[in-house]
Structures are given as structure tokens and as C-alpha cells.
């Protein structure tokens, strides 16, 4: 694997290949710009953004909202309403952004569908992390 690191704007989201299960996922770019978080727990470990994992900048809720404000005022209003409802749902910030990214990508601002998509994306990441933790644990005891 090419070990070159890619750099992105901190606080934005990237889409990147998951190394354990091979799906594309959203990750939050860390303060250093060359690492990302794919979960929002207190013990989350940031991962390096390797160029070989095909990272792609996708923005964040602020940039998506501004783009919609310019292009589609009707969608922008729906976007804002969905964002407010998701903020009240008590989900973590990465799951919220996964839900909002799904909504923007699909031009669908249905609360239930966006929330389900965000939660499903986070569950997929957490499942991959469980697999990685098992491999690490086996290696440590070998």
C-alpha cells in the first residue's frame, strides 16, 4: 500500500475506503489534517488518511447548507429543518453528518430515512472496528 498521506481541511468530512471491510465511509478530518475519526466516542482513535484509500473531500453541514442556499432555496429550507430535527435527536456529530450527507446526496430530507441512513452508516463502521479490534487482540496474544 502507498503510505503517502493526504491532507484535508480540519473539521470537514472525507469519504474514504474502510480498510477492514472495503466499503466507503465518511470520516471527520482531525485538527492535523492528515488523520480522521470514523467514530465519535471518547476513546476514538484517529486513523491516517492514506492516499491509497482514495480519500475524497465532501465538506460538512455548513458547506452543504451554503451550497444549497445558492442553488436551491426550497431544498435549503428542507435541509435546515432536517438538520434542526437531527440536532434534537441526540445522535453524535459524525452520525448526524452521515445522515445529512445522505440527505444532500439523495435530495431527500425525510427525517426518518435520513436518520436511518446515518445510523446504518455508523453501525457499519462500528462493525468494521469490532473486526479490527479482534485482529489486534489476537495479534497481541500470539
**What number of CA atoms fall less than 13 Å from residue 21's CA on the CB side?**
14
What is the per-residue pLDDT for 1? 57
Q: Which of 132, 90, 142 is nearest to 115 (CA)?
A: 90
Within 8 A by CB and 6+ apart from 20, the residues are: 128, 129, 131, 132
Cα 101 to Cα 82: distance, rounded to the nearest angstrom? 11
* pLDDT per residue as tens digits for the range 2-37: 689 999 999 999 999 998 888 999 999 999 999 999
What is the per-residue pLDDT for 131? 82
Tell how many helices (H) and how many strands (E) occur in the chain. Answer: 4, 5
Q: What is the residue extent of each domain of the chain?
A: 61-121
pTM comes to 0.91
Read off the pLDDT band of 137 (50, 70, 90): confident
* pLDDT per residue as tens digits for the range 68-99: 999 999 999 999 999 999 999 999 999 999 99
What is the per-residue pLDDT for 90? 93
Amino acid at each position: 500500500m502507498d503510505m503517502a498521506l493526504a491532507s484535508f481541511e480540519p473539521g470537514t468530512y472525507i469519504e474514504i475506503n474502510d480498510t477492514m471491510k472495503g466499503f466507503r465511509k465518511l470520516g471527520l478530518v482531525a485538527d492535523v489534517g492528515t488523520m480522521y475519526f470514523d467514530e465519535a466516542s471518547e476513546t476514538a482513535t484517529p486513523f491516517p488518511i492514506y492516499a491509497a484509500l482514495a480519500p475524497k473531500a465532501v465538506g460538512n453541514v455548513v458547506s452543504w447548507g451554503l451550497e444549497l442556499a445558492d442553488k436551491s432555496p426550497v431544498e435549503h429550507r428542507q435541509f435546515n429543518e432536517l438538520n434542526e430535527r437531527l440536532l434534537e435527536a441526540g445522535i453524535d456529530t459524525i452520525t448526524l453528518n452521515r445522515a445529512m450527507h445522505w440527505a444532500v446526496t439523495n435530495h431527500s430530507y425525510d427525517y426518518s430515512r435520513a436518520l436511518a441512513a446515518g445510523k446504518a452508516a455508523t453501525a457499519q463502521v462500528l462493525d468494521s472496528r469490532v473486526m479490527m479490534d479482534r485482529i489486534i487482540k489476537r495479534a497481541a496474544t500470539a
